[in-house]
Amino acid sequence: MSYIELRNISYKYPLSKANVLKNISYSFEKGNLYGIIGSNNSGKTTLCNLIKGLIPEFYEGELYGEVLIEGKDVRKWDSNILATSIGYIFQNPFSQISGIKETVFEEIALGLENLGIKEDEIIDRVIDVIKLLNITDLAKKNPNELSGGQRQRVAFASIVAMNNDILVIDEPTSQLDPQGTIEIFDIINKLKQQGKTIFLVEHKIDLIAEYADEVLVIDEGELKHWGKTNEILANKDLLNRGINLPQVALLSHEMENINEPFDQFAITKAEAKKQIAKRWG
């Protein structure tokens, strides 16, 4: 039995004439990182909302099919169990800050308080995650006065502190500079190594190439391509769907065009370096 399974999922928002998701089925294994890619308005965020259980609990509309976690339909889960099992980092960090806490420390602790976790454990968790996200200097600041990048780190910290088994992460670095982006992805990788199952929406395709185990390509609400990352991100059809290929994948294709193909198609810098060293020393 798969850890998580989507069965014939179709969904239409209220008052909408067309389905946003169309007959999507896929099985997910525990402990993997799944990259979800597609052009704007392709249905990626809607798919995230579905996996989290926000559809149809929060977002109404017409839902067909099932989302199963360990064989049980998410719609039948107790809301508290769902909250402790699945964490969701929203695309817009401004919508994830509660607005009711006066310090970042209190903001990160809020979700844990709502679950009734003991105060000593809350303090320990918040301290650990503040160090992990490198935001110790923000701990006493008002979260409503932070920059977009700072809020994104705080929102990320709030979810990491919950220690969910499943993480749904929607463009976690949209407000961050390149160094901040690398730091967040290093943390995401650590979470995967801890056995978390991660669903990641990200437009920075080179990072998907680096970190994802499998990739799902969503286009106009349909699942068009799926499978191992090195296979999916080598597919030129992505360009026709408004999705960039990784820079290294473009290099690999160019090597093929000049009849000097790599022994193994590369999609990451590390893979390309190995191929170049093997050929030219």
Identify the CATH number of the domain in which residue 150 sits.
3.40.50.300
User: What pLDDT is attached to residue 81?
Assistant: 82
**What is the rounded distance in angstroms from the CA atom of residue 180 to the CA atom of residue 33?**
20
Rg (CA), the chain: 20
User: What pLDDT is attached to residue 25?
Assistant: 98
Query: In this structure, is residue 155 part of a structural domain?
Result: yes
Query: In this structure, is residue 231 part of a structural domain?
Result: yes
Query: To 10 degrees, what angle do helices 178-193 and 148-160 make?
Result: 10
Query: In this structure, is residue 138 part of a structural domain?
Result: yes
DSSP of the chain, one letter per residue?
--SEEEEEEEEE-TT-SS-SEEEEEEEE-TT-EEEEE-STTSSHHHHHHHHHTHHHHTS-SEEEEEEEETTEEGGGS-HHHHHHHEEEE-S-GGGTS-S--SSHHHHHHHHHHHTT--HHHHHHHHHHHHHHTT-GGGTTS-GGGS-HHHHHHHHHHHHHTTT-SEEEEE-TTTT--HHHHHHHHHHHHHHHHTT-EEEEE-S-HHHHHHH-SEEEEEETTEEEEEEEHHHHTT-THHHHTT-PPPHHHHHHHHHHHTT---SS---SHHHHHHHHHHHH-
Query: In this structure, is residue 19 part of a structural domain?
Result: yes
- Could you give the number of structural domains in the chain? 1
Query: In this structure, is residue 79 part of a structural domain?
Result: yes
Nearest to 3 by CA among 196, 168, 210: 196
Query: In this structure, is residue 250 part of a structural domain?
Result: no
pLDDT 10s digit of each residue in the chain, 281 long? 789 999 999 999 998 999 999 999 999 999 999 999 999 999 999 999 999 989 988 888 999 999 999 999 988 888 778 888 999 998 888 888 998 999 999 999 999 999 899 999 999 999 999 999 999 999 999 999 999 999 999 999 999 999 999 999 999 998 899 999 999 999 999 999 999 999 999 999 999 999 999 999 999 999 999 999 999 999 999 999 999 999 999 999 999 999 989 999 999 999 999 988 887 76
User: What pLDDT is attached to residue 281?
Assistant: 64
Nearest to 190 by CA among 132, 261, 231, 136: 132
Query: In this structure, is residue 89 part of a structural domain?
Result: yes
Query: In this structure, is residue 262 part of a structural domain?
Result: no
User: What pLDDT is attached to residue 278?
Assistant: 83
Which residue range(s) make up the domain with 186? 4-245
User: What pLDDT is attached to residue 279?
Assistant: 79
